[in-house]
Amino acid sequence: MNQERPNPPDECDVRPGDECKSKRGDKGPTGDKGPTGDKGPIGDSGPAGEAACFDTASLIEQGSRSFKAVLTPGQTWVGVRDLQGPSSHTSFSWHNLTDPTAHPGYPDNACSVTISQQTDSVAIDVVTTDGEVFETWCRVINADPADPTRDFELDCVTHPGTANVYGPWVHKLPNPTVTDPP
């Protein structure tokens, strides 16, 4: 005898082999947090950060004037101050040697600075992170004994129509290498 199954009530879902399943109930509470997993492998090292270069060099000429060169990231400055004049031992008069108009050729990766003097000029040299040497010059304008308000000054810019070479940075070749004697 073949018996037909009755139709399930409207509130039931019929699945093959099941008679009736009740409606789904409300969602239950969230369970407890599971245990912490094992530590993962150590990741690769990141790229090296860019090194910031700072440097300073100074010289004092026979106790009459002081010169200083300062290198900060992206800039080199030179300064002079009078040690005997009316404003002796006061602030330096600073000149930015990285202005591309007044001082073309400044290397972007300068990392060390030095200063030297020859007669009434000072030479400022920088060494780059690649070991290249660049140099510029400034003319020293002496204090005027007849004018007690005038201290030493620096002229670090080439003036058109003159023979001076102050201002531009010059790549000094050849550069030293690791095989050169100390």
The series of mean pLDDT values per 10 residues for the chain, 182 residues long, is 54 55 77 88 84 90 85 93 68 89 91 90 92 91 65 75 74 73 58
Are the beta carbons of 122 and 154 closer than 8 angstroms?
A: yes
Distances (CA, A) of 106 to 3, 115, 144, 175: 100, 16, 32, 16
pTM, 2 dp: 0.64
Cα separation, 31 vs 102, in Å, equals 72
pLDDT digits (tens, 9 = 90+) for 27-78: 888 888 889 888 889 988 888 777 789 999 999 887 778 899 999 999 999 9
Cα separation, 22 vs 8, in Å, equals 11
DSSP string covering 119-153, please?
TTEEEEEEEETTS-EEEEEEEEEPP-TT-TT---E
What pLDDT is attached to residue 55?
96
What pLDDT is attached to residue 142?
73
How far is Cα of residue 20 from the mean position of the Cα atoms in its chain? 74
